[in-house]
Structure 1
Amino acid sequence: MGSRRDTLLLFALIVLVLLMGFLARSTEGTGAQDFRASSFLTGPAGMGALYQTLRELDLPVHRRTQPYVDADPVGRVTVLIAPEESPSPAEAHAILQAVREGGTLIFALHPAVGGGPLYDSLGVYPHSLREPGRGTPEYSAGREARTEPHPWTQGTAAVKGVRTTFADSSEALARRGATRLLSVGREVAALSWREGRGQVMVWADPVPLTNQHLRTSGAAAIFARAAAQGAGADGRIEFGEWYHGFRGEGSVVRGLRLFLAHHPAGHAALQVMAVLLLLLAVAGRRFGTALPPAPARRRSPLEHVEALAGAYRQAGAQRTARRLLVAGLARRLGRRAPADEAGAAELIGRLSASSPVGRDAAAALQTEWKRGSDADLVSVARGVDRLLDEVRKP
């Protein structure tokens, strides 16, 4: 009996390993091997890091899994980064009409697609940079594009990793009122212009915005400022995922149901799961108490604070960040959160002058606060934590 049970368990294990391999192979497109510039993807070529950065900055980001015609109205800010499928003429018209009525379009060319109705309407086409002795542009480290004077480029001297610029045939280069944002020598890598009552921003190369390069390229701050200005106080920033193949309502249950019901691989998965359930019912038996799962590795609070501080610095929002830190301190001390910089400074001053405990910590926090925009956000966060620790001591 024991030998038969062991055989069944071994067979179930083999089937389970094969199933896991099959699932890994069928989903590898969402990871390192998927080169779509989608905000859903966390692989090197995806835009998940850019999307999360905008969320960390409290910008109203949204993923659109619908086309731009026969669906919901176009949002205030339309983000199309290297779409795998070019919008149709009707969709391109709907996007540009929304821009002319006061919207914003942030568009990055796809070097491999390089054409379509939206490209033609904007008058932009890609041109690959070739570096002497560095092979083809697709496998080179890219060039450094210098920034041109503009409110969006303040604080950013250059953007690294540029492999594509606008071709000389791009009519947008001669468009009246067009402003260069990034240049590699005489070639243009990013461009902006007014379109009716709205704004268009076009990147010739999506690579500096990808997960692999976003931290070091210097492109995040430029993108965030343009998106924030376009969204305004009541708009939202929509990443167009329909043109990367992500369609429908985005429901996991709905996607799983369609896969199992209509895909041949789904039918095979159902059969394998039925066999596994049968084997578990016949031979499944627990030997001893189940082990608790290993704790998930989380980013330390200090790493989280440093990452957020870097994002706020790039976006030029240091004052807002440190005011929010002091607002959190006030709430945890049972006080009303200050509404502005003056209120935050007054709260810290009162704690430094009159608090019976934590006076030294409050004084150190006040010293760092007085540095204004030069204050180190990590030091402010540490000062807040130290003051709370002192107050809460028994």
Structure 2
Amino acid sequence: MSPTTPPRGARRPTPWWARPGVMLPLVAGLAFATALFTPIQGDPRGGDPRLSSLSTGPLGARLLHDLLQRLGWRTERRLRQGLPTDAPDAIVAVLDPRVPLRATEVHAILTHVRAGGAAVLVAGAGTGALLDSLHVTVGDAGRAVPVAAARYCAKESILSYRPLWFGTPIMRVLRFTAPTAGEVTRFLEATVERAGKDSVVQPVLVGMPLGAGRVVLAVDGDVFRNDAMRDCAPAFDVAAVRAFEYARDGGPRPRTLVVFDEYHQGHGARPGTIRAVLLYLGTSPSGRLLAQLALAGVLLLLALAPRLVPPPPDGRLERRSPLEQVDALARAYDQVRATRTAAERLVRGLRRRTERGPVRDRRALSDDAWLARLAERHPVLAEPIDLARQALAAELTPRQFATLGPALHRIETTLTRSPS
């Protein structure tokens, strides 16, 4: 056996790359170094996408708000639902609202402008009804035309990084679907290239009169965003200030109050689930139908459910059967010798049971006349009929009254068996 050959049964040493105590710390250190030195590829225009005056992110409009304050405008932020302001000569700023405007809110804004106010609007997903009312639609994208402004931009460093556009800014333009009532003022334009045709210059940010007020409209929110207004070259800040100056003028006095609508950006108190359900049940046809069905179901449950307080039992009056009173009436009539009254009751019952067919007379006949007619029709009943007529006319003796019952029974038997 060679001296270098290990003895049989001896364990071979584990290589270093298979030892957990060595490899696990090595892999952990490599992962930490990778995470530490790998550059982050972040979007420079990321963050909150809302064009809100409360947002200081790249896509917000806080710079526009602060710039207007520095230039002498008074600014407010509206966090409640409804028309952003009650001041008749204020400038309402509705910048690409994330919460869609309802028809009543669009009507309130346009009424405010027609009454002498002003509005600065940025089109977006929530302004479809507003654009339809202004006869405006969003067109194609084009390269922004530089704003003619006497300004100085510092020379950029080689290391400066401008992440917004590579070259001329690309902006969306607007198109009018109907003639406007007054002259349209353009503050920012873009050149749109058309395939096989000459390029055209179309507006991006315009101002136009509406009633006694003015409207400023943009279809691209980059006009007022923080990162775009910080860029010196496009001069969007100059175009924005000129647009607000246009909205300020044109009235009996300057409109120096700018009210930013932050409610439709998602800020402020929002209606909860119960408020939304009540709004649906009270305003939509299907909601009202569902509310009526629910109310009917509740009423049905209340009608079928057991009552907390049991209803009082229905009062019952015990009435004696007329047959139980026969003996009592007989004794009473016998005590006062009321044979005529008893005879009248008996004859009346006989008439009710037998007055049918030719015997019935539509005319009102007295009991005596009825008995007389029976005697004419049935001569065999002359004797019992005479007794009955005598009982109706005069008082009978007890012996005679005892024979009245069999006499009336004979008359009834004959009449019920007689075919006529």
TM-score normalized by structure 2?
Answer: 0.42
TM-score normalized by structure 1?
Answer: 0.44
